[in-house]
Each structure stands twice: as C-alpha cells, then as structure tokens.
C-alpha cells in the first residue's frame, strides 16, 4: 500500500501552473515595491473611485491680542476624480497544433511568461501616463538642474503641508540619462524590464524610461509617501457566486489566474483577473520639470483683441482685464452658455490668447499650445493667426503650456491660471 500524501499523476494538473503564475506575479510586485520604496498594497472594493488632491493653506497671522478672536487660516483641497479601480479581464489561448510543433515548454510556458510580463507592464504604463499629469510644473536649463528642481519642488510642497518625505523617486528619459552620464562609473540596474539607478543625486531610485512613457527633456519626481498601490481581490466571494474561481496566492491577492482546456476548439485557455492600480494621492505632489534646450527664447503671450470673433463669440464676450506677467495669467472669464463654442465644448469659461515673438527661425508651425494635464490631446499646433481659445475647467490645476521646437531642441513655458476669476 502506498504511503499517505503520495503525489500521484492525478494530483499534478493545471493548478500547479496556476499557482506558479500567481506566485511569480506576486513576488515580482513585492520586489518592485521594494525598489520604489512604497508600502504594502491597499485592498479596495470594486468600483472605488480613484481620486487625487491638490492642497493649499493660507496661514493667517498668529499675532493675536489678548482676548481677541483668532482668525481662521484658509485651507483648501481640490479633488480630481479619474475613474474607478476597475477589474480587468485578460485571456490567451494556445492551440494543440502549437504544442505539437514547438512542445509545451515553448508554446505554453514561454507564452505564460510573456503574458505575465505584459500584465505587469500594463499597470506600469498607466502609472507613467498618470505621472505626466502632475501639476507641480516648472522648467530648468539643464538635465542636472531639472533633477534638482524636481526633487526640491516635491520636498518643498510636502513641507508646506507639514508632511515628511523619507525618499523621492524620479523618472527620466533613457537617452537623456545616458547623455548625461557619459562615461561616468554609475551602476545601472535592470529588473522585470525596468532600468533604474539607485541612490542617484538625492533620489532613492531614478527610473530610466523610453520616450513612449516620458519625453526627452522631461524629469518627474514624486515622494514615496505619495504613491499607493490599490488592488481588488480577484477571489472576492461575490465573483464566486458567478461560478468564477481563480487561483490566488499570498496575503494580498493581486491577481487571479485560471486555466482550462477547451475541447470544442482543442486549445488551452488561460484567464487572468486583476484590479491593480499604482496611484498618487496628491496631484500637486508630482513635479514635472521640462528642460529648455538650445538657444530658444520665450514666446510672448497676450490676450486676444476684444473684437476678434471666434465662431460667433468675441474675445470681449469671453473675458475682461486679462494680463500676462511673470508666468501667470489673471483677469476675469465669463461663463458662456450659448454659441458655437458651447455647442462644441459645453458651457463654461473660455480664454482667448495670442502668441507671438517666437525664437529666431521659428514660425507658428513650430509652436504648440494647450493646457497641462491633458498634454497628449491638449497640445495643438498654432494656425497662421497665432490665436488659440482654451476652455478652463480647473484653474487651480490646469496651466497654460507653450512648447517651441527646433532641430530636437525644445523650449517650454508654463503659465499659472489660479489667479483667474471665473464669473
């Protein structure tokens, strides 16, 4: 009679593959959290809103006479919702012909490895996109200065909120980093497809990313205290009521994995379920510093002439008292409720501006303008009239952005909008 607990053929099934997959995924994320210096994952219920904040305090004088009323210091927190912590579903299939031709190790194991890498990369890609929307924006004249300014900006911001910063991590373009490093004896490490430098210029970790995640001439910094890792448990009991059971592993179930054979099509199917999100609590605790390169000079920004017509609405109907000084725009924007602008973009506040005096050799076609926080679709190339109309939806977090480009060099200008009055 065989001994008890003998592992027999019947016990070696696809569950071993499921456990291996979720265990490797969890270990990779544990290692990544250690590299970044972030805390344990935070479990969230499905449908939890992803919210970031911008915080400010205007401190009143503490010199209060005896018996006098103590004035309140004005504290404001602006909330920006970005959607839900969503459950994401993925599947792949391997045909019996593929196994027959390449063998199970290549057809199954190698595709499992790539499946895992792609799932990890998808979470990180969304995080990189989010980081680019940070509202603590500024410019610097060199890569080194940008690194210093980015770190200093976030440390200063957290100090102003009376919050401590233990470590700051940074993100920059890979080519910018290697151009700067040159032949310096710096150890560049690679793990899980990430390239990074530890303990560099005051950063606990500096991540080197390709241009699809961070453009050349840009540095991003964020305190580790500002980063959270949220997850939805794929083994949630409500999901089981649907007959969906996924293999999970560890104390924090970051991913669920299930495999089965489909006899109708003779393929092996793999299913992954996860709700994993890297997030930053304070949007104005993310510094985004652009490097001005070459001999490009600043463009001028002025309010459009009051009589200039924009699809049936004049600049004078949109705004009054607009002034542009020292990287800030002030004045009053009127609330538009009718007209073609409202038909196309909805009711709200619009600003009409003119751009001119570009760097030598540049024309309007070399200049893009828009609102930071929507850089991808928000930046548009100027037309020959060199005017632009922009809809202001959040004056405290949005910033006007002007980018001049020539022969690979860029000049970026930011203009604060918080001083605008929305009538």
Tens of pLDDT along 322-347? 999 888 999 999 999 999 999 999 99
For domain 293-422, give the CATH number: 2.60.40
Query: What pLDDT does residue 9 have?
Result: 41
Does the structure show a pLDDT above 60 at 208? yes
Rounded CA gap, 85 and 402, in Å?
33
Rounded CA gap, 234 and 246, in Å?
7
Q: Can you give the pTM of this predicted structure?
A: 0.70
- Determine which of 243-247, 309-313, 382-386 has the lowest per-residue pLDDT on average: 243-247
Residue 359 has what DSSP assignment?
S
Does the structure show a pLDDT above 50 at 10? no
Q: Which residue has the tokens 């922009």?
A: 390
Structure tokens at 141: 């004249």
Tens of pLDDT along 33-91? 777 777 667 777 766 666 655 555 555 666 767 777 777 665 555 555 556 677 888 88
pLDDT band for position 415 (cuts 50, 70, 90): very high
Q: Which residue has the tokens 């020539």?
A: 406
Does the structure show a pLDDT above 80 at 295? no
pLDDT band for position 381 (cuts 50, 70, 90): very high
Domain ranges of the chain: 12-58+75-130+229-280, 144-225, 293-422
Element (H, E) at 31: helix 14-36
Does the structure show a pLDDT above 50 at 7? no
Rounded CA gap, 219 and 37, in Å?
19
CA nearest neighbour of 372 among 300, 294, 282, 286: 286
């Amino acid at each position: 009679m065989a001994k008890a607990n003998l592992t027999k053929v019947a016990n070696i099934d696809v569950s071993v593959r499921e456990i291996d997959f979720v265990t490797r995924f969890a270990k990779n994320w544990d290692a990544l959290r250690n590299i970044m210096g972030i805390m344990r994952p935070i479990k969230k219920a499905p449908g939890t809103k992803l919210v970031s904040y911008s915080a400010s305090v205007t401190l009143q004088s503490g010199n209060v006479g005896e018996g006098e009323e103590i004035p309140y210091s004005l504290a404001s927190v602006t909330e920006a919702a970005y959607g839900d912590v969503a459950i994401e579903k993925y599947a792949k299939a391997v045909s019996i012909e593929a196994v027959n031709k390449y063998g199970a190790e290549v057809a199954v194991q190698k595709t499992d490895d790539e499946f895992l890498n792609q799932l990890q990369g998808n979470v990180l890609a969304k995080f990189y996109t989010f980081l680019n929307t940070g509202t603590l924006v500024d410019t610097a004249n060199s890569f080194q200065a940008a690194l210093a300014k980015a770190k200093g900006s976030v440390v200063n911001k957290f100090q102003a909120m009376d919050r401590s910063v233990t470590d700051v991590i940074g993100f920059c373009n890979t080519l910018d980093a290697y151009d700067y490093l040159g032949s310096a004896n710096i150890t560049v490490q690679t793990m899980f497809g990430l390239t990074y430098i530890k303990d560099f210029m005051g950063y606990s970790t500096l991540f080197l990313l390709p241009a699809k995640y961070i453009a050349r001439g840009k540095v991003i910094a964020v305190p580790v205290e500002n980063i959270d890792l949220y997850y939805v448990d794929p083994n949630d009991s409500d999901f089981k009521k649907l007959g969906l059971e996924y293999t999970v592993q560890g104390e924090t179930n970051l991913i669920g994995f299930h495999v089965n054979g489909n006899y109708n099509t003779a393929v092996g199917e793999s299913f992954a379920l996860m709700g994993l999100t890297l997030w930053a609590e304070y949007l104005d605790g993310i510094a985004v510093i652009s490097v001005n390169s070459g001999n490009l000079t600043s463009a001028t920004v002025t309010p459009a002439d009051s009589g200039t017509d924009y699809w049936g609405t004049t600049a004078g109907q949109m705004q009054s008292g607009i002034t542009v000084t020292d990287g800030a725009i002030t004045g009053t924007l009127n609330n538009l409720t009718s007209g073609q602008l409202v038909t196309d973009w909805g009711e709200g506040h619009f600003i009409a501006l003119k751009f001119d005096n570009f760097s030598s050799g540049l024309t309007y076609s070399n200049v893009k303008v828009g609102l930071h926080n929507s850089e991808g679709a928000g930046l548009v190339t100027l037309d020959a009239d060199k005017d632009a109309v922009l809809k202001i939806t959040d004056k405290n977090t949005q910033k006007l952005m002007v980018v001049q480009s020539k022969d690979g060099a860029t000049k970026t200008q930011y203009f604060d909008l918080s001083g605008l009055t929305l009538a």
